[in-house]
A and B are shown apart, each in its own frame.
Chain A
Amino acid sequence: MFGDLSLVSLIVSLMIASTPILFAATGELVVEKAGVLNLGVEGMMLIGAISGFAVAVSTGNPIVGFLGAAAGGAIAALIFGVLTQYLLSNQVATGLALTLFGTGVSALMGQPYNGLKPPPSPRLDIPVLSDLPVVGPILFSHDIMLYVSLLLVAAVWYFLYRTRGGLILRAVGEDHNAAHSLGYNVILIRLGAIAFGGACAGVGGAYLSLIRVPQWTQDMTAGVGWIALAIVVFASWKPYRVILGAYLFGGVTVLQLNLQALGVNISAAYLSMTPFIVTIVVLVIMSANRRKTSLNAPAMLGRIFHASH
């Protein structure tokens, strides 16, 4: 049944499909490590997708486009940040509102850009290596942003577990009252994490509109933001496992697309469901062992910090 599928092209498209999820999930991981639950990932991705697209089209430079996407995502995230950190609004409700807001705003911003083509993104092209069979297409001839996403995970891991800044960020997510009494500025640290998470989500969104698709269509993220949220839990808040999770779900997505293209005798509706069903099943299995999960979850996740003195 898989006879017509080329394994190499399958792996290549898997990596591309996974990259937006990887960006968004890595950003959200940092946010959650600081003890904040931002459910607005989907909205921030959409805002990033259109801001990146608009900037890339008007400057003709896709890298500047990605910077614009990061800025757009971060600004959207900071709206959430101000509401939840200063005005102490409920994080779940505010995050959901951010997603609705992002959907609407991106549709509005995207009106003039329907049907346009973005400038092509630079790709890695190393003589000899990129031309190797199998290894070449899988490892050495992707677009630059795919490598950036993997470097980002490594950088986040290094920051969280090897630097003092990362230690403080984790401490804030572990017990904000204790961190406050030791003299750390909980709100500023959290705002920083929220902005970083938004920037990553924005870049993830722009990866869809500038590289994977590549064009702007309304609601183009189609649930990827939600999957990214689930992957943070799946990864039990560990950076390297986020890669595993993102590639697993990216893989399921690509596989079901290919099966649909091959005309396998399963309704397309069922196939499109599979990534989401797999997400739910994996989350249920993960959560079954509550003892283990809660060991890694930031203890203050989603809790409002109110300085009492």
Chain B
Amino acid sequence: MSALLEIKSLSKAYPGVQANDSVSFEIQPGEIHALLGENGAGKSTLVKMIYGLVRPDSGEMLLHGQHFAPSKPGEARAAGVAMVFQHFSLFEAMSVAENITLGMEDAPARTELSAQIRKVSAEYGLPLDPDRLIGDLSVGERQRVEIVRCLLQNPKLLIMDEPTSVLTPQEVNTLFTTLRKLSTEGVAILYISHKLDEIKALCNSATILRGGKVVGTCVPENETARSMAEMMIGGELAMPAARDFQPGETLLELSGLSLPSLDPFGTSLKDITVTLRAGEILGVGGVAGNGQDELLLTLSGEIPVAPDMVRLKGEAIGNLGPVARRKRGLLAAPEERLGHAAVPEMSLTENAFLSGRVRNGLANRGFIQAKKRDAFADDIVKQFDVRTPSISNQAKSLSGGNLQKFVIGREVLQNPSVLVVNQPTWGVDAAAAAAIRQALRDMAEAGAAVMVISQDLDELMEMSDTFSVLAEGHLSAPQPAAGLSVEEIGLMMGATHKEAENA
């Protein structure tokens, strides 16, 4: 059998970084091939070259034995290469059908397209209504739109970048069924994920990248998640130790917290009541778009609510803004790294100052204490292993995982009483994720309370003491995390979602 796609010593350099260094591998028709590597290992650059978004500096690609060098995504699509992005390329205010049209080269007329969408989506077990607005769909449904858009063009190679990071366990199963069906039909799949258990379950072969080079290949079935992770980082993986949970005094109390959503596609918070005690890590699970962003905003103080709804150590602070809350010890690290947690165009030192000014005394009567500020930024970079040429680099120049370590480290080093984090390890590789989780655990160990909002159930199960689910703006009563199975939680999360589908 001849290879579908052959990649021959492909290289690409960006200023200061060799993103890909003479990468070679092959994909056979019908093969599900995993691409493994830490953040910044060069996976994204590689798939962007295959999809025509980035041009290689040197090297060659062969598709069906023919020279293949797409100069734009349209050419790649015409040649049978389709891609599902990690950050969906969907337009919220447009309908499913319109979104699909935009991703096709020669889309058929409206009614015919709608019929095709219904047919293909039913065939692969991904039901979709072509007339609904993307903004009204759940994340899982949005991914279906991306996949159906690819399938309508009869791809020979489907590239999937981190497809399961935001799905419920049940949705992941559905996705895998679809992918296996495609594979039996001869479609090759290039699969990028940090979830090594999934790769073990799904993929036939794997290529491992480190520092832009291929450092190994393996058959995932014959490996363990741990052995693959160690191949990726080229060393031993530190696993967090189990810890005893001894709840202390109550630090944060939410009572009847409600917030009507301002965003037309947002979710209103409904009567959220929960307490966080010293030493406790509360995991908040749930599918994205069920009020996670709104919850974080009301806790950070960006959206003020009635004073009594949020109490910190007994004091009513619901109406206070972020600075006043920081002063009192309630800190938050939002999900969106660029533009929310950090100012992209500002340096790391400046970003450190913006958050740490009050608690770490980085300003004196309105003047910046430059030495203290730089020392603070240095501390974050050193203690959290943020890989950056210098602390004066712009925040946006860091890779996602490195910036995430910086953002979390910045809050942790301010010794908060209560820290709220949303998606702390989103798009972060295994080693960095383990380091972030360990830092949060250490904080709780030292007597702080931590609320972790995440869609990664494995992560929540690994680090939470108590667990609850945010669904349609309601927060379920926290339960001890120890006794719960992933299946039970998946059902809790999907409950409201399923109802909406059947309606």
Contact = CB atoms under 8 A, between A and B. Distances in A.
B483 interface: no
A181 B159 CA distance: 14
B264 A291 contact: yes
A178 B93 contact: no
Contact of B53 (A164, A168, A174, A309): A309
29 contacts: A164-B107, A167-B98, A167-B102, A168-B102, A171-B91, A171-B102, A174-B91, A174-B92, A174-B93, A174-B94, A175-B89, A177-B87, A178-B89, A178-B91, A182-B73, A182-B89, A182-B102, A182-B103, A183-B52, A183-B53, A184-B102, A290-B262, A291-B261, A294-B262, A294-B263, A294-B264, A295-B264, A296-B93, A299-B93
Nearest to A297: B93
Report the interface size class on chain A: 20 to 34
A292 B93 CA distance: 12
A238 interface: no
Residue with the greatest number of chain B CB neighbours at <10 A, chosen from A290, A291, A299 = A291
B244 to A, nearest CB: 45
A181 B102 contact: no
B54 interface: yes
Interface of B: 48, 52-54, 72-74, 77, 85, 87-94, 98, 101-103, 107, 261-264
A190 interface: no
A168 to B, nearest CB: 7
A299 B54 contact: no
A291 B103 CA distance: 28
A195 B101 CA distance: 26
A167 B90 CA distance: 13
Nearest to B93: A174
A171 B263 contact: no
A181 B99 CA distance: 13
A167 B102 CA distance: 8
Closest 6 CB pairs of A and B: A183-B73, A178-B89, A174-B91, A295-B264, A181-B89, A183-B74
A97 B92 CA distance: 33
Nearest to A184: B102
Interface in A172-190: 174-175, 177-179, 181-184
Interface string A177-210: 1110111100000000000000000000000000
A182 B76 CA distance: 11
A178 B90 contact: yes
A299 B85 CA distance: 20
Contacts of A170: 91, 94
Nearest to A174: B91
Contacts of A179: 89, 91, 102
A179 B77 CA distance: 15
Interface in A279-309: 290-292, 294-296, 299, 309
Interface string A53-72: 00000000000000000000
B309 to A, nearest CB: 21
Given A168-B102, A291-B262, A181 B93 contact: no
A130 B336 CA distance: 62
B263 to A, nearest CB: 7
Nearest to A307: B53
Interface string A155-177: 00000000010011011001101
Given A164-B107, A167-B101, A174-B94, A181 B53 contact: yes
A90 to B, nearest CB: 13
A175 B91 contact: yes
B423 to A, nearest CB: 19
Contact of A171 (B54, B74, B87, B94): B94
A170 B134 CA distance: 15
B73 A181 contact: yes
B264 A164 contact: no
Contacts of A178: 88-91
A309 B54 contact: yes
A191 to B, nearest CB: 18
Contacts of B52: 183
Contacts of B73: 181-183
B102 A299 contact: no
Contacts of A168: 102
Given A178-B89, A182-B103, A183-B77, 12 more contacts: A167-B94, A177-B87, A177-B89, A178-B91, A183-B52, A183-B72, A183-B73, A291-B263, A292-B264, A295-B93, A299-B93, A309-B54
A110 to B, nearest CB: 42
B255 to A, nearest CB: 26
Contacts of B101: 164, 167
Contacts of A175: 89-92
Nearest to A178: B89
Contacts of A299: 92-93
Nearest to A181: B89
Nearest to A294: B264
